[in-house]
Amino acid sequence: MGGLQPRLAVLLLASLTAFGLMPPAGASSFDAVVRLLDTRSCKRCELQDADLVRADLRDADLRNALLQRANLSGARLDGAKLGGANLSFTSLQGASLRGADLRGATLEGTDLREADLSGALVDTGSLATTHWQGARGIDPALQGHAELHNAGVAAAKAGRLPEAERFFDAAIQRDQEAAISWVARGIVRGEQAKTEQAAADFSYAAQLYATSGDLATSEQLLEASAKLKKDPKQGKDGGNAFGSQVVGGAMGVVQFLLPLAAKAFIPLAF
């Protein structure tokens, strides 16, 4: 059994429900929460939309549990077994997942911002559709091209241009044939008045687009590169918007600074 603290949590939940102070929930969902807090073992449980903020679930067995949209913000899940669990659009913001096993878990749209993943077991590429900015302890080898590019997009949109450039650098190291990352880095470099470097990025991206058969985009980028080479001081004297101007204004920025897999991944407004 889970000891005094889980039992107190169970009693509190029961009391709140009895007095109508909690929103109604399905019996199976409530029973699953009670079971989890009491025993820290709830394999294959239905815990969708459960409110488990700051719950102490260290070493809990939640393998194959259904946790879609659950709120586990600030929860302590160190050593937890979450293999095969569905954590789609679940909030784990600020949670401690040190040494947790997340292999095989579904992590689409999962909020891992500010979480501690030190020593956690995570499938390579599984963080691509998560929000992991500010998370700690992520093994760099787990961060694929998509994760790094999307982090660069988020940083760029927030105005953190040097940080965005570093993410796009890393994304290009993961996949040097990803033309969109070269363009994105060119945009943020142009915004920082690094005109020569931005021109080189646009030029190389143009070659990649031409090779793939997208001649229209290739031509647009060659024109942008030529503008920068013709007057490299324009970005330095013309403010911080030159990187976006040379790729066609707002529509150009929207085109090239979208998260990868945007059609399948719609970030939540956490």
pLDDT tens-digit series, residues 84-133 = 999 999 999 999 999 999 999 999 999 999 999 999 999 987 887 788 87
Q: 58 φ, ψ to 5°?
A: -60, 130
121 CB-near residues (< 8 Å, 6+ apart): 100, 101, 102, 103
Q: Is residue 35 part of a domain?
A: no
Q: Is residue 179 part of a domain?
A: yes
Q: Exposure of 26 by Cβ count < 10 A (0-12 exposed, 13-18 middle, 19+ buried)?
A: exposed
Of 179, 143, 114, 153, nearest to 265 by C-alpha is 153
Mean pLDDT in residue range 217-227 = 90
Q: pTM higher than 0.75 for the full model?
A: no
Q: Is residue 24 part of a domain?
A: no
Q: Is residue 20 part of a domain?
A: no
Say if CB 121 and CB 140 are below 8 A apart: no
Query: What pLDDT, on a 0 to 100 scale, did the predictor assign at position 212?
Result: 94
The amino acid occupying position 87 is L
Query: What pLDDT, on a 0 to 100 scale, did the predictor assign at position 189?
Result: 94
Query: What pLDDT, on a 0 to 100 scale, did the predictor assign at position 4?
Result: 44
Mean pLDDT in residue range 128-150 = 80
Q: Is residue 34 part of a domain?
A: no
pLDDT (tens digit, 9 = 90+) per residue, 3-15?
445 555 545 555 5
Give residue for tokens 């030529």.
226
Total count of residues recorded for the chain: 270
Mean pLDDT in residue range 223-249 = 65
Say if CB 123 and CB 104 are below 8 A apart: yes
Q: Is residue 175 part of a domain?
A: yes
What total of structural domains would you count in the chain? 1
In the chain the first and final C-alpha atoms are separated, in Å, by: 34
Q: Is residue 23 part of a domain?
A: no
Query: What pLDDT, on a 0 to 100 scale, did the predictor assign at position 234?
Result: 55
pLDDT (tens digit, 9 = 90+) per residue, 29-60?
788 899 999 999 999 999 999 999 999 999 99
Q: 91 φ, ψ to 5°?
A: -95, 115
Q: Is residue 187 part of a domain?
A: yes
d(CA 193, CA 260): 26
Query: What pLDDT, on a 0 to 100 scale, did the predictor assign at position 247?
Result: 65
Band of residue 270 on the pLDDT scale cut at 50, 70, 90: very low
Give the domain CATH number at 219. Answer: 1.25.40
Say if CB 186 and CB 201 are below 8 A apart: yes
Say if CB 152 and CB 184 are below 8 A apart: yes
Domain containing residue 226: 146-256
Top pLDDT among 142 and 225 is at 225
The amino acid occupying position 173 is Q
Top pLDDT among 235 and 224 is at 224
